[in-house]
Structure 1
Amino acid sequence: MMKRLRKILGCILAGMMLVLAVPPLIPELSAVTEVQAAPKVATPQLVSAVPYGKTKITVKWKPVKGVNGYRIYRRTNGSKWQAIRNVSGRYTSYADTKVNSGNEYTYTVRAYKRSGGKVYWSKYVIKGVKTIAGLKYLKINTFRKTIYTGSTYDLKILGTKLKPVWSTDNYRIAGVYRNGRVLAKRPGKARITGQLGGRKFTCDVVVKNKPAPDRRVAQNYEKLFSYMKKKGLKDSEGNYTLVGYTSDYFMTGMKYIPKQDILYMSSYQIVRDKKARDTAKSEAVNLWMNCAKNNRIRVVWKQKFSDGTLLEAETVLYAPNYRGEENLSFKYKNGKIMDPKKSKDVNQTLQKLLKLNGSFIKDKTGLSLKDLGFKAYKY
């Protein structure tokens, strides 16, 4: 009995060994092949983006082992990502020379690896690294400024349209709005700081009380206005007008505006095109003044063509310092600065207006432009 049992167990054990040792002959199992997992490519770690000069930025990253190359992406002033260059895997930096000074550029990098005829890509750092091209060459429009209480002054960074983050170290003396406008509150000193691209731009502000008006200047304006009320032509709005100098192509005039207690001066001239005799254009220079109240005088130039086209530019004249021979900078309504040649012509018209009207006032009232607040005036 025992011999028979041993024989049965031996047959069972031999069968199991055969099944384990011999490859299966089942078709479905014999067709199975081994599949390798796709290789993982590590994300490049960004190091820095540094501007050099005005038209170059170098971006750097840490190397990723075993990759074939990198692709550099860039976005300008917060726009969408754009691929700008592929470089070999042996590089860990790239110099971008297609940048414009004053723009903000953000960079990121992806690594790639070739395997089995395919290309595998890494992820990328979404935040990226950013900098501003030509950052070193940007400047604040003034480093020091004296402002009278209640007045404002606009600070800005020249060379860029980007908006810095503004702050003040003494908000009780001078505050600053998000757009860079400084508000003078009380006498004292404050430092205004604008931060942009990791740089700090500072302006030291001195706030002073408004100077008391010069009573003599106020009395002189009262005398002039009194004369104009007597001799001027009164219009429907209650203003009084006097004609100063007149010629075939040029004339000047003055108007006293009682509601604003201000003197309005203007010149008007006809300019004919030498090439086309039938084409003419008119030019006018206008200014509003009362230096007993404000020494800053708004000056507006207008030019109207025969087809109705109108150009307009303006500037501000500071009466106490104006000598009658400066070339003030005029700015058009669209923000563009008037070219030097045209600006020189307009300044000559302004100077002519003040000379002629100044002579008229002197002849009629005995007052000079110096008496009206133009303390440095030479004519």
Structure 2
Amino acid sequence: MPDIPRAPETDAPPRRKLLDLQRDDLVGWLAEQKQPKFRAAQILRWVYQQRAMSFDEMTDLPAKLRQRLAEDFDLFTASIETEQVSNDGTEKLLLRLGDGGEVECVLLRDGPRRSICVSSQVGCAMGCVFCASGLDGVKRNLTRGEIMEQMLRLQRRLPADERLSHIVMMGMGEPLANLDNVLATLDIARDAEGLGISPRRITISTVGLPPAIDRLARHGVPYNLAVSLHAPNDELRNQLVPVNVKVGVDKILAAADRYFATSGRRLTYEYVLLGGVNDSIQQAHELVRLLRSRSALLNVIPYNPVAGLPYKTPSAGAITQFREALEQGGVNVQFRTRKGSDIDAACGQLRRNRAMLNESQLPLA
């Protein structure tokens, strides 16, 4: 798919990013152009619902207004650095941002569902040892517009008669560490004049930051919360998720319980299953003790190997035994089908593998 055209460089003042504007900011700009307020709704409809690539496509706007929009604003500011399509229909984009940072986003097709997984930061500071996203640390938070651009670019990959059905904030970065911009983006995503996706079909993933979980509860919108647990005790979780040293499993579970009490939304606990690390029967029994009394779903994800890391996918036998122990213990559990494994679909894999390839091509000193 061709990339979105961008206006040529000039000596004019730098253009503002349309996707970072509040609606009132756009209305104010229109007033300066002596344009009626209703033009804002037209522009935003073209952006969020009619999948416009450029201001020129907004054909119900006066030509002079379209020209002025192109002079004052950039619609999209990233470029597609790499794109991959899996045999199962999964599509992954590596986007290069205006400052050179790179983030990944994914479109997943599963029956009638059209789900997207988007990033909230360039890199990640949480340090999960098996994840490619955080191997180089975190560079910065994404703006509201940069998060929304991922959603819109993935939406454009769908045929005209299909629409996005689910959003998962589970790409690169820790969404609750960039909560202001994440919530501002999701406010648009759930708005009828935005992407029109119900909060019940929007999931925010976190490694577990209790103060931010409590703040999310106070926000009052019943998004689904997914807590990336990955270990049933602090000793192992401290090794796998280093930020846990400052928090602890008990405090994370308590914050999640408070979120459930406030929102009424069933919690999901994510558990990446690492062969020989956290896939034993004993660890399954520990998970049973933690979760069987909670209204929660345990989502077990067999590990998607990352080049250069020592972790591996568990054997089929280990997966079966782990699952049986959980089910017999009364835990509501599902094992996620791995999608996109042939295109580096795990968080951060595409960016890391491309970087490794580039490094391998550098001349020797």
TM-score by length of 2: 0.22
Q: Higher RCO, 1 or 2 (CA under 8 Å, sep at least 6)? A: 2
Query: Whose strand fraction is larger, Structure 1's or Structure 2's?
Result: 1
Greater share of residues in helix: 2
